[in-house]
Amino acid sequence: ETGVTQSPTHLIKTRGQQVTLRCSSQSGHNTVSWYQQALGQGPQFIFQYYREEENGRGNFPPRFSGLQFPNYSSELNVNALELDDSALYLCASSTREAGGPQTQYFGPGTRLLVL
Amino acid sequence: GNSVTQMEGPVTLSEEAFLTINCTYTATGYPSLFWYVQYPGEGLQLLLKATKADDKGSNKGFEATYRKETTSFHLEKGSVQVSDSAVYFCALTKGGGGFKTIFGAGTRLFVKA
């Protein structure tokens, strides 16, 4: 069973550019969540995808968008990058548990630096 | 809204010392509670969880009990090791609009030999 993988591991962009981060979920998982972790802080929930549909969103502007594909892998897209977007972006996969919360399995993250 | 507050670090202990990291939460209803650990340069790993009041989660010598009356989920370990040095995050997951997970700010633990 393969775990959650993310690509790329590191990325440097400049203000105003666009970026796409990728996540492959763990085998058998149909739900992917994305988080932003600024340095020295806890992860902040961006959004969640379940069976290719957005299923919950945190307090992030519309320039943060995502996709989930039929194989349950996912992309996070950020347009018009700002300096404050510099952070570790974490992807977590999970599977629905009847009537209960999901146990999430995290990838190693993509570290984005915006100059 | 829902939130998680955990004690600020860093916490520095000697090997074999007793560890407590405090965590309290604010949430409506009955969230599930988690502790995650992040080792240097790595992603988050689930350490333990509890899904209802009075449940005790445990793993690798760590324990935490879901206390509804005090809205707490304190992490404890009887004897820490150098290899326990990491950042520990308390988190809650609540349904409604997707199962959103809310994390505390994290507590960095240093264990000295």
Mean pLDDT of B86-106: 85
**What is the rounded CA–CA span in Å between residue A22 and residue A72?**
11
Instruction: Report the DSSP beta bridge partners of residue B93.
Output: B32, B101
Question: How far out from the chain centre does Cα B28 lie?
Answer: 19
Which residue on chain A is closest to B9 by alpha carbon? A40
How many angstroms separate the CA atoms of A73 and A89, rounded?
A: 15
Minimum Cα–Cα distance from B40: chain A residue:
A108
What percent of chain B has pLDDT above 90? 75
Question: Is B89 in Cβ contact with A90 (below 8 Å)?
Answer: no
**Which stretches in chain A have pLDDT values below 50?**
none
Buried b (16+ CB within 10 A) or exposed e, B86-102: bbbbbbbbbbeebbbbb
Of A41, A43, A56, the CB nearest to B98: A56
| B42, B48, B89, B100: best to mutate for the A interface, most A CBs within 10 A | B100
Q: State mean pLDDT over B3-14.
A: 94
Comparing CB atoms, the residue among A35, A101, A108 nearest residue B32 is A101
Say if residue B97's pLDDT is above 80.
no
Count of C-beta atoms within a 10 Å radius of residue A4: 23
pLDDT tens for each residue of A34-62: 999 999 889 999 999 988 999 889 999 99
CB hemisphere CA count around A63 (13 angstroms) = 10
**Residue B64 in contact with residue B73, Cβ under 8 Å?**
yes
Q: Do B89 and A42 touch (CB under 8 A)?
A: yes
Give residue A27's pLDDT: 84
